[in-house]
Amino acid sequence: MQNLKRLLPSNTLILCCFFLALLAVTLSFLIPKKSLYNGSETTFVGKISDFKIDGNFVSLTLEGPERLIGFYYLETLEEKKIWEEKIGYGKQVQITGTLEAPAKASLPHTFDYQEYLKYQKIYWTVQIDKIAWQKDGNVFAKSKTAIYKYLKKFNHHEFLLALLLGNTNGLETEKITANGISHLFAVSGMHITMFALFLQKLLRRFGSKKDYAIILFFFFYAFLVGFTPSVMRSILLFAGLTLNQKFHLNLTTKRIFALIFLGLIIHNPFIIMDVGFQFSFLICFFFFYLKPHPNFWLNLLKTSTVAFLASIPVSGMNFYEVNALSIIWNIFFIPFVTYILYPACFLYLIFPFISPIFSGLIAFFWLVNSWCEKITFGWLVIPYIYPLFWSIYIFFLFFFLKHKKTKYLLFCLIFLVSIKTIPKINPNTYVYFLNVGQGDAALLISSYQKEVVMIDTGGLINYNNEEWQVRKNKVKQSNTIISFFHSLGIGSLDSLILTHGDYDHLGNAADIINDFKIKRVVFNCGNFNELEQELIKVLDKKKIPYYSCVKELNIDDNKLYFLNNKDYGNENDNSSVIYTKLNNHKFLFMGDAGVEVEEDLIQKYNLNDIDVLKVGHHGSNTSSSKIFINNIKPKYAIISVGKNNRYGHPKSSVLDTLSNSKIYRTDLDGSIMFKINNNKLKIETCEP
């Protein structure tokens, strides 16, 4: 055993970890999809390993011949109660439904559900029509179900589940991510350390020093929380340290940590793509080179700073933003949660009568969180770069912490500044037509990102009208749009143009306005409807100037011309019709304007040989008349339309009318990008 330390030199292990991580990333992209199903199957039998009921929406993971993700929409409150009663971990069920390929990213550089599931070896989702409950799981699965159901009997059970078991399904995602404190609800080293200290003291009290018994408990705990990477890292590290001491292996903590990393990567190379794994191992790795400070608060500040610096590559690769103020926020939140709120959860379970005190602590937590949320200047946008380039930053940070030389930290800062400047030195002009479902949204970016203009924001109408149907954690379309903008290095908009007041054109506007600095908002002609009036309240609150019925707008060296200044008495025909010429390429945005507007445009303007037409009203037959299309002769026609929409858009008659144009549809082609460089037009799509 004495030679084991010499057989595992630290530097060799670190190099092995690095190159194995690169190999794992490479494999994750190169390994092809292999599924047992061809897509025509309709009946599936398996055991439920995970599930979530949120409002009227149910999702579950089915473990069978091949893992599947099932979705089901509850029709009544009574049906929801039946599902809540019958569903459980390990429960065997028979599902009847339709297999569907998981959705890809709707916008470039944003969350790709298909890729996310592929890393878990899941290649299909199933839309559930019927479910037959067959038999319960084993004793471990039933105990897990019983624990979850028991916790749900308590007030603030969402908080208990999140803090004790890492299950944040009941919490509003935006509330726990707003200040960069979501890590507090990820079961990790803090939970394991607190548990270990408590259990060690308990064993000592009964005269036992068999710490390996704690290891057995921890693996059951890992089963409860779903064997998440951060939990496995913490538990395996505790187990490794315990066995190292018991069998006198003389391994350092760093070597044990490296062996755990290697073991998990070898067991499942795809785990390297898990965001929790990236955060957990990268931050923990850098902590090994952090010299503790004797003062508690200064030590906490050092720890928080290193955690922030270490998390930047992961946040940059996945979310395109970081909150620098999280260094300060964590000085309050970490000790408050670790030493007050977390122990209070156990006390509340043992002594339910302290519910008012527990409620007060939670209320105080959310109050401080809301105060911090109002301070937004700490958020930094990080544009997308190829992930491999982040290894440069990681190496510089490693050298800084290892050798304590300021020049390496300076290199880190230079690297971050360089990333920030990349979009500002891009000479190309871009026009994006965003895939926002049944709605419209476009983005214009001038050369060197001098001007950024958004035309419409999209907006999906929520048809839920009963309280029990409302979902707490439904992914907001606006969040995807914001993430995409951040990936381009966009943190502000020069102009937000809303062609008219329909929800599918401005439904996401309030979220966009709250997230970005905006110089001006431009409305169409005509009276403001109710939606626009509500939006104006937001603009007034943020002191953003707004205008209506303008005739032209400067965009760098070009102009946007608003061709429709007439009040037609209805929202669609009052749409702003926008014409611009970018590097000799003509773009025409029709909003939802109809045939009558088209006739007036032909008479008033000489619109011909349009290069790119944003087709009016999502391809409805109320727009795009043959006379209009024959006059403007569009080379490319963009139809912004939702997949399988209820309106039957685009209409076949409109597609026939546009037969001489190259047609792009957001439901089939996803988001469409026009890149203009030296008068050359390059087109790329993001297939949905």
53 within some domain: yes
Together in a domain, 130 and 196: no
Together in a domain, 513 and 660: yes
Together in a domain, 5 and 128: no
What digits encode the pLDDT tens for the residues 457-483? 999 877 667 888 888 777 789 999 999
Q: Which of 139, 158, 190 is the last residue of a domain?
A: 139
Q: Which of 116, 139, 162 is the last residue of a domain?
A: 139
What digits encode the pLDDT tens for the residues 118-161? 888 899 999 999 999 999 889 989 999 999 889 888 888 888 88
- This prediction has a pTM of 0.90
What digits encode the pLDDT tens for the residues 595-651? 999 999 999 998 999 999 999 999 999 999 999 999 999 999 999 999 989 899 999
Together in a domain, 653 and 510: yes
Query: What pLDDT does residue 4 have?
Result: 46
Query: What pLDDT does residue 17 have?
Result: 66
Together in a domain, 282 and 246: yes
Query: What pLDDT does residue 8 have?
Result: 47
Q: How far is CA 348 from the centre of its chain?
A: 33
For the chain, which residues score pLDDT lower than 70? 1-33, 172-191, 204, 206-212, 463-464
485 vs 107: CA distance, rounded Å = 10
359 within some domain: no
Together in a domain, 411 and 438: no
Query: What pLDDT does residue 549 have?
Result: 92
144 within some domain: no
Residue 363 CB-half CA count within 13 A:
7
Q: How far is CA 9 from the centre of its chain?
A: 39
The backbone torsions φ and ψ at residue 159, rounded to the nearest 5 degrees and listed phi first, read: -70, -40
Together in a domain, 9 and 79: no
For 49, residues 6+ apart whose C-beta sits below 8 A from its C-beta are 61, 62, 63, 89, 90
Together in a domain, 19 and 59: no
DSSP SS3 for 68:
strand
For 120, residues 6+ apart whose C-beta sits below 8 A from its C-beta are 67, 270
**Strand order, beta sheet including 671-677:** 546-548, 517-523, 492-497, 452-457, 441-445, 429-433, 671-677, 680-686
Together in a domain, 575 and 680: yes
Assess contact for 88 and 137: CB atoms under 8 A: yes
Together in a domain, 19 and 56: no
387 within some domain: no
Identity (one letter) of the amino acid at 631?
Answer: N
329 within some domain: no
Interstrand relation of 517-523 and 492-497 (parallel, antiparallel or unpaired): parallel
Together in a domain, 4 and 66: no
369 within some domain: no
504 vs 122: CA distance, rounded Å = 33
State the residue range of the domain holding 184.
Answer: 1-32+180-289
Interstrand relation of 92-100 and 379-381 (parallel, antiparallel or unpaired): unpaired
Q: What is the CATH number of the domain that holds 442?
A: 3.60.15.10
Q: Which of 110, 139, 168 is the last residue of a domain?
A: 139
Q: How many domains, in total, are found in the chain? A: 4
- Give how far Cα 187 sits from Cα of 224, 301, 606, Å: 11, 22, 64
366 within some domain: no
What digits encode the pLDDT tens for the residues 291-350? 888 888 888 899 889 989 999 999 999 999 998 888 888 888 888 888 888 889 889 998
334 within some domain: no
Together in a domain, 493 and 431: yes
Q: What is the CATH number of the domain that holds 126?
A: 2.40.50.140
